[in-house]
Structure 1
Amino acid sequence: MANLKALAKDTAIYGLSSIIGRFLNYLLVPIYTYVINAGSGGYGVVTNMYAYTALLLVILTYGMETTFFRFANKSGEDSGKVYSTILTSVLATSALFFILVLVFLDPISSAMGYPEHPDYIWVMAATVALDAFQSIPFAYLRFRKRPYRFAALKLLFILMSIGLNLLYFVILPKLGLNPFGIYDNGIQVGFVFYINLFCTGFITFLFYGEYKDARSGFDWSLMKRMLGYSWPILILGIAGVLNQSASQIIYPLVRDGEEGVRELGIYGACIKIAMIMAMITQAFRYAYEPIVFAGAKDRDSKEMYGKAMKFFIIFTLLAFLCVIGFLDVLKYIIGESYREGLRVVPIVMAAEIMMGIYFNLSFWYKLIDQTLWGALFSGAGCLALFAVNFIFIPKIGYMACAWAGVAGYGIAMLLSYFVGQKKYPIAYPLKDIAIYVIAAAVIYCAMQLTSKFLGTIPQLAVNCVLIALFCALIVKRDLPLSDLPVIGKHFRKSC
């Protein structure tokens, strides 16, 4: 129970920084989608480039975040030496990657479809190299239980990024200013990447305290053991990120021409609305991962894993209903020329819920040091995703991308559950989980049905009532008001 309370506290802090950060980052979506018309394909370029960035980030960290938590909490290991060795390794590989990109810049630019913009490629490479290096100090902050510094650095990055994007895309054009001739060829989508590089580089310099803690040098024998643990996690990570971003990489290859880039921009803009699930999962991961490895030997750890799974599903379902219930308001996040793709939102959110469940299920093979299983599960899911994309994108366009995510995560989730119950059985409260899933499905169907007959305002009112009913179910079954912090004492007195 103490672990659950620590999980809730840390998730709240990490979640606040993640949710506020993502919410503030959403300000970039209307900036881009209102300034860059869907027909230009500019936002499709941004979507495509960031998909490559996500994949490269996983490759350049090669599972060292999870490996750090595993080895830093192992008895007999020096956590300081683990941190120092991993930090040195990731720094070296990130620098090597950037140098290789510079050497082969022209052929890489041509292969990616941007022969006229090699600057996109080297800027992306520099940014992802710095991001990979940053991931280890950020993991170190989580290990040291310093969520406030973690949150402050994350939010600072977001605020800087928003400020500079507002300056370039909105403020300076409105004032009619053209410093250094930056608008001689109009507003350029490449500045999205330049701003990101500047902000990432600035945050990298702020880890001076964490760099000082890496005093133990590099231990090659330790590194070999950690690589033996991490390489399946790397495969798992590649498969996992491909489940998230492969569609955005594949789409321009399957759907050639300007129309493909335009459609990709629409899809990329609309899935931003669905990314609240990614926020919740990320916040949960930041708090949950250190607690799982630190408490693996506790007698009640498996019970805690089961309860954590249940509450994760409960609140992601609630988030799903809130987004769908207020989609008529949330749609104004993106420009009007992109809104034709809003039908992907519930499908992408369902896929993100499956991804979160899969993450929760993934700890059994990490705790018994059989991470190869994770690579196999994610690989199977990834193959399904590729198959759906290549077969159905030519037929149904970006809707195939949304359904491919469901197929990929669904397969990985089911495989991990059934194999895990044999290798490391955990008594998940399946009956309770099923009740919430069915309730959420019924409410979703009711929202969709009533939307055909009601106007926007009456529909929002009905949706509020339906969401309130789901909240009442949560309170009735699993979260009585008397147990809530601060206000709970008032309900206990009244009982």
Structure 2
Amino acid sequence: MSVAKRLASQTAVYGVSSIVGRVLSYLLTPVYTAAFAAAEFGVVTGVYAYVSFLNVLFTYGMETTYFRFANRPGTDRRDLYDRVLSLLLVSTVVLTTVLILLAKPLLGMLGIPPGHEQYGVWMALILGLDALAAIPFARLRLENKARKFATIRLVNILVNVGLNLFFLVFCPAVASGKWLPGLQPLVARVFDPTIGVSYVFLSNLFASGLTLLLLWREVLDFRFRLNLAFLRPLLGYTYPLMLMGLAGMVNETLDRIMLPMWLPKNFYPGQSSLTAVGIYGACYKLSIFMQLVNQAFRYAADPFFFSQATEKNSPATFALVMKWFTLCCAVIFVGVSLNVEDFGRLFLKRPEYLQGLVVVPILLLANLFLGVYYNLSVWFKLTDKTYFGTYIGAGGAVLTIALNFLLIPLLGYLGSALATLACYFMMAVLCWRLGERHFPVPYPALRLGLWLLFAAGLVALGWWLQPADWWVRHAWHAGLTVLFLVALWVVERPQAAFATKAA
């Protein structure tokens, strides 16, 4: 029992640090959309799409590899730590240098004009610092120092958010005389209103540097040792993990890199490609509701599924989990999609961002199917056939690239959203069909499919019929939301009661 309690406690600590980071990052969206025009926010969106994608290359699955080899019998963990961190140090220096040299062409692919190469330099330094912190963080997890891990992660998040608020909200308000005009001379020494989005990257860079400093004990407790013969089996293990991570990042972030590359000139009259990226990136943030559910589920799901694997009724349990997970996500999908106008005006502070709200229901549904895929993936985890996850992820990546290439010139960022939906839907269906062969689970696929069709139909109806009057429109959307909830209650409540009695 003590082991289980400790595991649950540490899972909660790790989960809180990650989810809090997501929530605080999301809450910066109103700050960014108030401070920056869509074209400026497009710079932020594009650069961070690169950061998310390249982070996989910088760490190349070495954290998981470190865990795997550290738990092998007879392993000298201190020696392993030194060698893994030595390898990561060398690769980080090389990749950071290459990225700095390629800053101009990479930024040019996003439509960022020459003269802003510093964005690429800062991006490279952020990636380098975060990569160097990865193995010290992994060591904390290996040594069960969950509180120190979470504390440092939270400090990183709070410093980053705090600096953003300071430079993008507090300093402009003081400089304009809106707040505390007596502080204007002091603020003038540290604040330059002309550098704009640079403060976003500089805040992140400072927070990443501080994080590495807070890991000073783990960093100083390191001796450089590089032995390629020793590292060969590690590289062989980590190579598939890197491919899986790259496939996942293609599916998650590549659309924001491809959009400015493949969007025809003047596709959106009077708007640059960076403006389109900014609008799409801001509206993408509104799918955070489904993303948070997925992330919370992933923290809880794997331990639960593995603990239930040997139970006689585990397939029925997995099917029940899938059912209620999907139905709860369907409620979020309907509720947010039909009321996205209010969420948009609350979080997207400039009217130019609101024109992209049409992608929000599509992205919410896409993330719903991603959550379904996480649920279904239990079969290849329990049967030790995780290579199927690589194949499915790679297939999704190919589909994402192909559909973005085809749809962006025709539909703009709506095409990117549809490509994301198609990718995650395909991954979920493929995982389900393969799972039926290798690890049959009695999922109520037809029933859940009908519920999702009903939910999507209500959302489509709500978007198709938009009364001009504000009150009538909101009453109409609220009525459709209540209709879905009542239908769920009437149809599923008797089954839930029966399941309770049976238990």
TM-based fold match above 0.5: yes
Q: Please tell me whether residue 271 in structure 1 is matched to residue 271 in structure 2.
A: no
Q: Deviations over 1:424-479 (max 9, x none)?
A: x3343411x65455335434534554674643256447635744764787776569
Measure, in 2, the Cα distance between the counterparts of 1:93 and 1:302.
44
Deviation for aligned residue 1:44 = 1.0
Deviation for aligned residue 1:404 = 0.5
**Which of 392, 395, 406 matches 2:407?**
392
Aligned counterpart, 1:50 = 48
Measure, in 2, the Cα distance between the counterparts of 1:212 and 1:297.
42
Contact 1:21-1:155 at 8 Å conserved across structures: yes
Aligned counterpart, 2:26 = 26
Q: Please tell me whether residue 163 in structure 1 is matched to residue 180 in structure 2.
A: no
Q: Please tell me whether residue 241 in structure 1 is matched to residue 256 in structure 2.
A: no
Deviation for aligned residue 1:82 = 5.3
Q: Which amino acid aligns with 2:125?
A: A
Is the deviation greater in 1-10 or in 11-20? 1-10
Aligned counterpart, 1:191 = 199
| Cα root mean square deviation, aligned | 4.0
CA change 1:407–1:462 in 2 (3 A) is: closer
Measure, in 2, the Cα distance between the counterparts of 1:48 and 1:129.
18
CA change 1:356–1:217 in 2 (3 A) is: farther
Q: Please tell me whether residue 439 in structure 1 is matched to residue 438 in structure 2.
A: no
Deviation for aligned residue 1:19 = 3.7
CA change 1:250–1:317 in 2 (3 A) is: same
Q: Please tell me whether residue 122 in structure 1 is matched to residue 114 in structure 2.
A: no
Contact 2:42-2:274 at 8 Å conserved across structures: yes
The structure with the largest alpha-carbon Rg is: 2
Q: Deviations over 1:332-378 (max 9, x none)?
A: 11122201111111111222222233344446556666554433322
Measure, in 2, the Cα distance between the counterparts of 1:159 and 1:50.
18
Measure, in 1, the Cα distance between the counterparts of 2:353 and 2:490.
35
CA change 1:298–1:99 in 2 (3 A) is: farther
Contact 2:19-2:295 at 8 Å conserved across structures: no
CA change 1:60–1:311 in 2 (3 A) is: farther
Contact 1:325-1:463 at 8 Å conserved across structures: yes
Report SS of the residue matched to 1:341: coil
> Superposition pairs for residues 244-323 of structure 1, below 5 Å?
244-255=252-263, 259-288=272-301, 303=315, 309=322, 312-323=325-336
Report SS of the residue matched to 1:188: coil
Contact 1:28-1:162 at 8 Å conserved across structures: yes
Measure, in 2, the Cα distance between the counterparts of 1:281 and 1:341.
23
Q: Which amino acid aligns with 1:234?
A: M
Aligned counterpart, 1:339 = 354
Identity %, equivalent residues: 32
Q: Deviations over 1:168-208 (max 9, x none)?
A: 11211111145347436x25212211111111221232234
Aligned counterpart, 1:179 = 188
CA change 1:327–1:11 in 2 (3 A) is: farther
Deviation for aligned residue 1:408 = 1.9
Aligned counterpart, 1:455 = 473
Measure, in 2, the Cα distance between the counterparts of 1:355 and 1:80.
38
> Superposition pairs for residues 397-476 of structure 1, below 5 Å?
397-422=412-437, 425-431=438-444, 434-446=446-458, 449=461, 452=465, 454-456=472-474, 459-460=477-478, 463=481, 466-467=484-485, 470=488
Contact 1:309-1:428 at 8 Å conserved across structures: no
Aligned counterpart, 2:367 = 352
Measure, in 2, the Cα distance between the counterparts of 1:145 and 1:481.
38
Structure 1: runs of 5+ lacking an equivalent: 484-495
CA change 1:52–1:306 in 2 (3 A) is: same
Deviation for aligned residue 1:117 = 0.9
Contact 1:85-1:219 at 8 Å conserved across structures: yes
Aligned counterpart, 1:64 = 62
Q: Deviations over 1:218-272 (max 9, x none)?
A: 7755632232222122112112111111111111111255522111111100010
Is the deviation greater in 376-385 or in 128-137? 128-137
Measure, in 1, the Cα distance between the counterparts of 2:77 and 2:302.
16
Measure, in 2, the Cα distance between the counterparts of 1:465 and 1:252.
40
Structure 2: runs of 5+ lacking an equivalent: 176-183, 266-270
Measure, in 2, the Cα distance between the counterparts of 1:462 and 1:143.
49
Aligned counterpart, 1:488 = none
Measure, in 2, the Cα distance between the counterparts of 1:216 and 1:283.
37
Deviation for aligned residue 1:68 = 4.0
Deviation for aligned residue 1:80 = 6.0
Measure, in 1, the Cα distance between the counterparts of 2:303 and 2:67.
6
Contact 2:60-2:239 at 8 Å conserved across structures: yes
Normalising to structure 2: TM-score of the pair?
0.79
Q: Which amino acid aligns with 1:415?
A: L
Normalising to structure 1: TM-score of the pair?
0.80
CA change 1:468–1:227 in 2 (3 A) is: farther
Contact 1:325-1:464 at 8 Å conserved across structures: no
Deviation for aligned residue 1:482 = 9.0
